[in-house]
Amino acid sequence: MTSQQPPASHYIAGAYLDDAEGAAIPVIYPATGQEIARLHAATDAVIDKALAAAHAAQPAWAALSGTERGRILRKAADILRDRNHEMSVLETYDTGKPLSETLIADATSAADALEYFGGLAGALTGEHIQLPEGDFVYTRREALGVVLGIGAWNYPTQIAAWKAAPALACGNTMVMKPSETTPLCTLKLAEILTEAGAPPGVFNVVQGYGPEAAKMLEDPRIAKVSLTGSVPTGLKVYQSAAAGMKHATLELGGKSPLVIFDDADLDSAVSAAINGNFYSTGQICSNSTRVFVQSGIKQAFLDRLTTRMKDVVIGDPLDQATTLGPMVSERQLSITLDYIEKGKAEGARLVTGGERHEQEGFWIAPAVFADVADDMTIAREEIFGPVMSVLDFETEDEVLARANATQFGLAAGVFTQDLTRAHRMAAGFQAGTCYINAFNLTPVEAPFGGMKMSGMGRENSKAAIEHYSQLKSVYVGLNPTEAPF
Ligand SMILES: NC(=O)c1ccc[n+]([C@@H]2O[C@H](COP(=O)([O-])OP(=O)(O)OC[C@H]3O[C@@H](n4cnc5c(N)ncnc54)[C@H](O)[C@@H]3O)[C@@H](O)[C@H]2O)c1
Ligand SMILES: NCCCC=O
């Protein structure tokens, strides 16, 4: 087993830093269950150093022109692309996701974000508003200050870059706390930003568990928090941010519907259902975990799906032929197995998979349930594992109401050849990202984020700029000032 031990746990003010007093963070390779690195959670002293570094670096970073900041972000994007293979291998060690995925979905997605926001940085402007008699207002788009990023474990490189790229483009500095389950990749991103020319303190990485993140959020030096995580954590983070009147972007969980009408291109719909449930071993927030299939094609859909499922290649994640890796941790595997047992107990029909592989690591056969009812636990709660629920429906009105009958609102998709119906469904879905004859694609050019309990704010696209900057109005008077007395 190759050790993936980084030089130290934290990256602060352009250099690695450790403090072995902090609680241990063992890093486990999910494919084998073996420890590949051991880091430490930040002590109060480390937290203070990181916040001080980010706070001190922010005014000078914001004083650069957008073009200068953007040049550094674009250079970091180039370095990431040059090191895609190395970054992808590390992402695989961090998460267990197969190299066949990480080579195309992680460092490349991070590079897209750095390139996109690097390009946008020089174009960020305020506006001029003409008023009567020569007076006018101009607006300045200003940074917020220091942004705290808090990450989930499924896409560590992408999550850090989706937050850092718009934050840094707008002139903020950042302290990023990756998930304690996958703490390695973000350190490499920090190294690359330094190499690209980011001054010390502009992007810092602090390791820790929930309490370390909560402590940083309470600090008055933090102006904004951007969390990717579960709804329960989102509620705590939102409350804490509100107490300090801090800006918040919350990218939370989902239970997204995929609606397949009987006129759909069946092979494409089956592909979307597979991608939307089993890519990254089902550990994607926007996954289509409720697959509604119109009753006329239910059997054809299940037949095609189960045939295609036989082609899955479960094996060594570092072998590029592998198409399904392990789950990220023993804990997440156990949560998933519990849901599968609940599904069976509540009367859903397990069509395939669902059993743990008796080998080292956190392996499970991807599961498909049919005859799932809306009130079953597996149809209501986010599992965050490779478990697809197939539900039957008859009519468009019925399925739209059922698709929306959830506290979540992250994504939704429809497969049909009837484009009028497709756009009607997209308009009716209560979800931040909707798909027509596609699913789970997240290009940097498109806003991404949730409605309802799935969160607030948007990542990616020009929309993210609104969430990482603030507007100041400057009124300019060109006339004598008058007063009533
Ligand atoms: N919407 C999205 O873009 C998106 C993307 C990926 C994952 N997710 C969601 O993330 C969840 C899975 O990730 P997870 O298990 O790491 O989530 P989690 O909520 O357990 O943890 C997320 C992060 O929050 C930190 N944290 C925990 N308690 C905290 C507290 N009180 N204050 C501040 N930070 C705290 C954790 O240390 C971790 O870094 C799923 O619900 C999934 O849907 C959402
Ligand atoms: N590639 C998109 C990932 C978002 C959530 O997990």
Residue nearest ligand 1's atom 32 by CA: 214
Q: Please, which pLDDT band fits residue 1 given cuts at 50, 70 and 90?
A: low
The CATH architecture of the domain made up of 257-436 is: 3-Layer(aba) Sandwich (3.40)
Residues of the chain with CATH 3.40.309.10: 257-436
Q: What is the dihedral of CA 48, 51, 57, 63, to 10 degrees?
A: -150
Query: Residue 406: which of 232, 293, 255 has the closest Cα?
Result: 255
pLDDT score of 341 more than 70: yes
Ligand number nearest to the C-alpha of 331: 1
What's the gap in Å between 288 CA and the centre of ligand 2? 12
> Which of 102, 109, 155, 181 gets mutated to test ligand 2 (max ligand atoms within 8 A of its CB)?
155
Query: What digits encode the pLDDT tens for the residues 78-105?
Result: 999 999 999 999 999 999 999 999 999 9
Q: Is the dihedral of CA 302, 308, 314, 317 positive or negative?
A: negative
Query: What digits encode the pLDDT tens for the residues 367-389?
Result: 999 999 999 999 999 999 999 99
Q: Is 63 buried (19+), middle (13-18) or exposed (0-12) by CB count in 10 A?
A: exposed
Q: Is 477 buried (19+), middle (13-18) or exposed (0-12) by CB count in 10 A?
A: exposed
> Which of 39, 150, 283 gets mutated to test ligand 1 (max ligand atoms within 8 A of its CB)?
150
Distance between start and end Cα atoms, the chain: 83
What value does the mean pLDDT take over residues 219-223?
98
Q: Give me Rg for the CA atoms of the chain.
A: 24
pLDDT score of 215 more than 80: yes
**Contact, 439 vs 413, CB < 8 A?**
yes
Query: What digits encode the pLDDT tens for the residues 439-478?
Result: 999 999 999 999 999 999 999 999 999 999 999 999 999 9
In sequence order, the 6+-apart residues with CB closer than 8 A to the CB of 17 are 8, 9, 10, 11, 46, 49
Query: Residue 188: which of 3, 2, 16, 1 has the closest Cα?
Result: 16
At 196 the pLDDT is: 99
Residues of the chain with CATH 3.40.605.10: 10-252+454-472
Residue nearest ligand 2's atom 1 by CA: 442
Mean pLDDT, the chain, whole residue set: 98
181 lines ligand 2 (CB under 6 A): no
Q: Domain 10-252+454-472's class?
A: alpha beta
pLDDT score of 161 more than 70: yes
161 lines ligand 2 (CB under 6 A): no
**Contact, 190 vs 221, CB < 8 A?**
no
Query: Residue 454: which of 300, 257, 223 has the closest Cα?
Result: 257
Residue pointed to by tokens 């486990």: 28
What value does the mean pLDDT take over residues 217-238?
98
What's the gap in Å between 464 CA and the centre of ligand 2? 16
Token couple for 119? 């390009």
Q: Is 122 buried (19+), middle (13-18) or exposed (0-12) by CB count in 10 A?
A: middle
229 lines ligand 1 (CB under 6 A): yes
Residue type, 33: G
Query: Residue 53: which of 173, 189, 226 has the closest Cα?
Result: 173
What ligand 1 atom has the least distance to the C-alpha of 410?
A: 1
Token couple for 266? 């069946």
Share above pLDDT 90 across residues of the chain, in percent, rounded to a whole number: 99
Q: Which of 91, 212, 251, 382 is catalytic?
A: 251
Query: What digits encode the pLDDT tens for the residues 10-37?
Result: 999 999 999 999 999 999 999 999 999 9
Q: Tell me the ipTM for this assembly.
A: 0.96
Query: What digits encode the pLDDT tens for the residues 398-413?
Result: 999 999 999 999 999 9
Query: Residue 282: which of 311, 307, 318, 312 has the closest Cα?
Result: 312
Tell me if residue 381 is catalytic. no
pLDDT score of 325 more than 90: yes
Query: What digits encode the pLDDT tens for the residues 30-80?
Result: 999 999 999 999 999 999 999 999 999 999 999 999 999 999 999 999 999
Residue nearest ligand 1's atom 6 by CA: 285
Q: What is the dihedral of CA 272, 274, 275, 281, to 10 degrees?
A: 160
| Length of the chain counted residue by residue | 485
385 lines ligand 1 (CB under 6 A): no
The H or E element spanning position 35 is strand 34-40
What value does the mean pLDDT take over residues 152-179?
99
Alpha carbons within 13 A on the beta-carbon side of 298: 15
In sequence order, the 6+-apart residues with CB closer than 8 A to the CB of 335 are 383, 384, 385
**Contact, 361 vs 326, CB < 8 A?**
yes
At 208 the pLDDT is: 98
228 lines ligand 2 (CB under 6 A): no
**Contact, 115 vs 196, CB < 8 A?**
no
Query: What digits encode the pLDDT tens for the residues 271-302?
Result: 999 999 999 999 999 999 999 999 999 999 99
Question: Residue 216 and residue 206: Cα distance in Å, rounded?
Answer: 10
